[in-house]
Amino acid sequence: MTTTETPYLLGNEPDELRRLEEQAAALAPATRAILGMAGIEPGMRVLDLGTGAGDVAFELSRIVGPSGSVVGIDQSAKALRWAAGRCEAQGLRNVSFVHDDLHQMRLTGQVDAVVGRLVLLYTPDPAAVLRKFAGYVRPGGVVVSMEYEMSVAGLLPATPLSERITYWINEAFRRSGLDPYLGARLETVFADAGLAGATVLGLQAYRPPGDPTGGRMASGVLRTLLPVLTRTGLATAEEVGIDTLGQRLFEDQVRSGAVFRPPTLVGGWSRIGGS
């Protein structure tokens, strides 16, 4: 266990952890579909990389059942305390948490699967992280990654406000040195990690006019990214108007009868050879 925490763009304050929970609820169907297609099964021992508020660990817990186990890893002690509290409240007994940095962590023994959702994006060398953790998976086991492809997120048809929001979010990640299209590049990341021929599929959700998800997601992530926007000259706090942004996007959506497209969740998975 380490005591120093690697700087992480979105931080782990309570507002951000609540945002992760809300985002996780929207991502749950796609996440379950990807875990199922990747071959996560009852009885497996699974690592959840960058577990955050714990939502992927909880999905995994229900799939692997009482004969399996899940270890959620995160560099943030705050996030892990939050996740552990939620885990207890849900009565999940096959989940435990480890406080460590993915770059420094060492494991003894093997697991059946390694899973990580929205975490490789925040590592400077995603292929190196994948390669390292693939090394802990037994032959025949599986490595699963889920990352966003953010370019298509927004209203359909787009409005000037939704286009501006999509641009701000994509550009804030880019200016922080992070790739908002990482999901689209997962096959290359897997290949660079020594896992050639990974299956990579994007799952696109759609929310009808009148659904509040778009406004909530946009204002939640922009609230967290606001310091990047103002520091890098992307927009001023007045231009963003964070306190009314979600409501304005929602009103746009209702007025124009638009569908909200969240970022595409792309799943990549690969079996470890030799079984």
The reply on whether position 52 binds ligand SAM by CB under 6 A is yes
Closest C-alpha among 143, 95, 101 to residue 122: 101
- Residue 50 or 263 having the CB closest to ligand SAM: 50
The reply on whether position 256 binds ligand SAM by CB under 6 A is no
According to CB under 6 A, which residues from 93 to 112 bind ligand SAM?
101-103
According to CB under 6 A, which residues from 121 to 160 bind ligand SAM?
122-123
Q: Which residue has the tokens 């922009």?
A: 222
The reply on whether position 12 binds ligand SAM by CB under 6 A is yes
Closest C-alpha among 138, 76, 79, 81 to residue 107: 138
Among 119, 184, 222, 226, which residue sits at the site for ligand SAM (rule: CB under 6 A)?
119
Neighbours of 158 (CB within 10 A): 16
The reply on whether position 76 binds ligand SAM by CB under 6 A is yes
Both tokens of residue 28? 């749950």
- Residue 103 or 248 having the CB closest to ligand SAM: 103
The reply on whether position 113 binds ligand SAM by CB under 6 A is no
One-letter amino acid at 242 equals: I
Q: Which residue has the tokens 């959506």?
A: 253
Neighbours of 236 (CB within 10 A): 10
The reply on whether position 181 binds ligand SAM by CB under 6 A is no
Residue 131 sits at φ, ψ, to 5 deg, of -60, -45
- Residue 54 or 258 having the CB closest to ligand SAM: 54
Among 38, 40, 56, 134, which residue sits at the site for ligand SAM (rule: CB under 6 A)?
56
Q: Are 142 and 271 in contact (CB under 8 A)?
A: yes
Both tokens of residue 21? 């929970």
Which residues are at the interface with ligand SAM (CB under 6 A)? 6, 8, 10, 12, 20, 24, 50-53, 55-56, 74-76, 79, 101-103, 117-119, 122-123
